[in-house]
Amino acid sequence: MGICEDRVVIVTGAGRGLGRAYALELARQGAAVVVNDLGVGNHGEDTGERPGEQVVAEIEAMGGRAVANFDDVADWDGGGRIVQTALDTFGGLHAVVNNAGIVRDRMFVSATVDEWDAVMRVHLRGHFCTSRHAVDYWRAEAKAGRQVDARIINTTSGAGLQGSIGQSAYSAAKAGIAGLTLVQAAELGRYGITANAIAPQARTRMTEGAFGEAMSRKEDGLDVFAPENTAPLLAWLCSQEAEVTGQVFELLGSKLWLSLGWNDGPSRQNDGRWPAEKIGSAVAELMAERPAAKPVYGTS
């Protein structure tokens, strides 16, 4: 028996890459999976493909349960239909995995407002719509006196936690998702809902374009950036065992760690309001005392 036996899980963007690896691992662990995927390209363009159907076929071939869904995660009504697919097909819902995303990589000086809006729509609005409908369902269950043991798993990124050259829109969206996760965890615990995020370091169509050959690294026979490495962590976060909330997890190959996030650093106290002429020397002292930050991706 797997750790997600009899759980019902929605995975968005589940046709390829990480989403596919998540859906397959969840099925191996006993979950019934709603495989949501629009079949679009890296930039959100229509390809006419339906990879979600192939993932469903793979799950059914292993004896699992799955259903394909082709709604747009960033469409309000579409998010509702994704949740309703789970309820109509499997009779319940226990977890939402917000994985769908696109990229519009561009140096900030060349970025356009349309590219910015497209990235924000899929990542931030996409994380909102499906989860918001799921929370409506779980909250109603809790108010009706039924026990809720629900999970939201969001997808942030090292780009959002520390920044990435050439990815200002993507970095800003992923930073917003990390902040959203903290708020969801604080607000939704009363209904029996946990919220956590993963910052995957994995080889996908999006990361291969940005990092290329570096994503093929192997260590001691382990394919360090294989999407399958992250899938067991995701499955655990969807399970009843995972009572942790408000955390951001990172995983690279065989290394798993928690992100600490923003926290108070060193400080200086002045006698009354700080005069402008004293701030420079105080900041220099603070910078000398603070721990070194992780570098922005793409910087030396």
Residues tagged active-site: 170
Beta bridge partners of residue 150, listed in sequence order: 193
Cα–Cα distance between 37 and 87 in angstroms, integer?
Answer: 18
126-143 and 168-188 helices cross at what angle (nearest 10)? 10
CA angle 187, 191, 194 (to 5 degrees): 65
- β-pair type (255-258, 248-252): antiparallel
Cα–Cα distance between 223 and 209 in angstroms, integer?
Answer: 18
Cα–Cα distance between 204 and 50 in angstroms, integer?
Answer: 17
Q: Measured over all CA atoms, what is the biggest interatomic distance in the chain, rounded to whole angstroms?
A: 71
Residue 208 three-state SS = helix
Cα–Cα distance between 148 and 275 in angstroms, integer?
Answer: 54
The radius of gyration of the chain from alpha carbons, rounded to an integer in Å, stands at: 20
- Other beta carbons less than 10 A from residue 76's beta carbon: 13
Q: How far is CA 291 from CA 169, 260, 266, 286, in A?
A: 27, 13, 9, 10
- Least Cα distance to 167 among 101, 224, 220 occurs for 101
Cα–Cα distance between 47 and 68 in angstroms, integer?
Answer: 17
